[in-house]
Amino acid sequence: MIFKCKNCGGNVVYSPEHKQMHCPYCDSQESQERAMEECDKSFCPNCGGEITVEEHTSALQCKYCDHYIILNDRVEGEYLPKKIIPFKLSKEMVKKSLRERFKKATFAPTDFLSEVRLNSMVGEYVPFFMYDYDVNCTYNAEGIKVRTWTTGDVQHTETSYYDVIRDMNINYRDIPVDASVKMPDNVMDLLEPYNYGEFVEFKPEYMSGFTAEKYNMESDTVEFRASDKMAASASSILRSSVNGYSRLNERNKNFSIRNKVNNYNLLPTWKYLYTYNDKLYPFYVNGQTGKIVGSVPVSKTKVLAYGATLFVLLNVILIAGSYIITSLGII
C-alpha cells in the first residue's frame, strides 16, 4: 500500500516533527488515504520502476519516485505488530545531533558529517518480541553468623546457623529482544532503553516515510535472551534481600514462570552506514531517545597533517625562544 494525499496525490508520510501524517508536497496534515493496495514486489505500484524487495522487508522507498511502499502481506495476519513506537526524531534532528556529538572528533574523515553522506541515513523499524513474565522465585540457603569476643586472655567464638528462605513473586513487563537476523544483538542492547510508555497501537500509517522488516527470527529461538535478562535481574533482587550473614551456603534457587506473554512490536532506529577505505562503520541512533551507537573512523591523512603542524609549531616556538634569549643577550 501507499498513502496518497487527497489534495495533491503526493506521498503522505508520518512526520516526527508534526507528530502526525504530513504531505511534504502540499504541506497538508492528515490528508492521506490508502491507495495501491497490492504490490507484486517487483515493480513500484506508483511509477512502475523496478524495486528490490529483500526477503524480510516490509516497507521500502522506491528509488525512482521516492514513494514509500508498505507490503500488505508483511504487516498483516501473523506479521501484524501489536504496538509501535513511532519515530520521534526526524532525519534532520538526527543529523543535527550527530554533528553536535562529533564536532570535536578532530581526526574523523572530512566527509563523515557531510550533507551528502548524512542524507544516506535510513529510518528503519526493527522487529522486536517483548516478553512479560510473572515469576515465582524461591531461595534456600544456610546462613552463618560468626561472633567473636575476648574475656581476659580467652577469645570466644560463637557460630550461629540460620535457615534462610525467600519466596517472592516478581512481575516483569516488556523485556525486549530483537527478532532481526541482520541487526547485531549487541547494538540493539546498547540502543536500549526505549521509553515503552510511548507505545501506541500499530497502524501502517506510522511506517510511511521509513523502511521496515517483519520479524525473521522465531520467538522460541530468541526468547532465551529475555529469560536470561529476567533470571539475572531476579537473582540480583534475591541476593540484595539477604543481608547480615558472614557466609551463605546456597542450597536451592528456583525461578518458576507462572505466566508468560509475548508481543510482536516495532521500534524505531536510524541507520547511518558510513564507509571509509572500503571498511564499513555502521552508526545506529535510537529513533526515540537519540542515543548513538558507533565508532568514528580515524583519518590517517588528518593525523599526519596534525603531526606536521605540531612539528612546525614547536620549531616556531624554539626559534622564538632563541630569539628572545639572543635579544636579552644583546641588552
Candidates 19-27, 80-88, 113-121, 297-305 — which segment interacts with Zn ion by CB under 5 A?
A: 19-27
Nearer CB in complex with Zn ion: 61/299: 61
293 binds Zn ion (CB under 5 A): no
In the list 1, 62, 175, 238, the residue contacting Zn ion (rule: CB under 5 A) is 62
Nearer CB in complex with Zn ion: 47/200 = 47
Contact residue for Zn ion among 21, 23, 126, 179 (CB under 5 A) = 23
Single out the segment in contact with Zn ion by CB under 5 A; choices: 37-45, 254-262, 293-301, 310-318: 37-45
211-213 and 122-151 strand pairing: parallel
**Which own/partner pairs from 111-116 qualify as long-range (CB within 8 Å, at least 24 positions apart)?**
112/274, 112/276, 112/296, 112/297
> Nearest CA to 37 among 46, 28, 29, 49?
46
Find the helix or strand (DSSP H, E) in which 98 lies. helix 91-102
CB-nearer residue toward Zn ion: 37 or 278: 37
- 33 lies in the site for Zn ion, by CB under 5 A: no
Cα 292 to Cα 99, 106, 230, 289: the distances in Å are 12, 18, 25, 9
* # residues contacting Zn ion (CB under 5 A): 14
In terms of C-beta density within 10 A (0-12 exposed, 13-18 middle, 19 or more buried), how is residue 125 classed? Answer: buried
Q: Does 25 sit near Zn ion (CB under 5 A)? A: yes
Q: How far is CA 8 from the centre of its chain?
A: 36
Q: What per-residue string of b and e applies to 232-252 under the rule 16 or more CB within 10 Å gives b? A: eebeeebeeeeeebeeeeeee
Answer for which of 7, 195, 236, 254 binds Zn ion (CB under 5 A) is 7
Q: How far is the CB of 15 from Zn ion (least distance, A)?
A: 13
3-state SS, residue 138: strand
Contact call for residue 49 and Zn ion (CB under 5 A): yes
Does 208 bind Zn ion (CB under 5 A)? Our answer is: no
The only residue of 20, 26, 132, 262 in contact with Zn ion, by rule CB under 5 A: 26
5 touches Zn ion (CB under 5 A): yes
End-to-end CA distance of the chain: 87
Strands (E), 202-246: 211-213
- Comparing CB distances to Zn ion, the nearer of 36 and 231 is 36
Task: Catalog residues that contact Zn ion under the rule CB under 5 A.
Answer: 5, 7-8, 10, 23, 25-26, 44, 46-47, 49, 62, 64-65
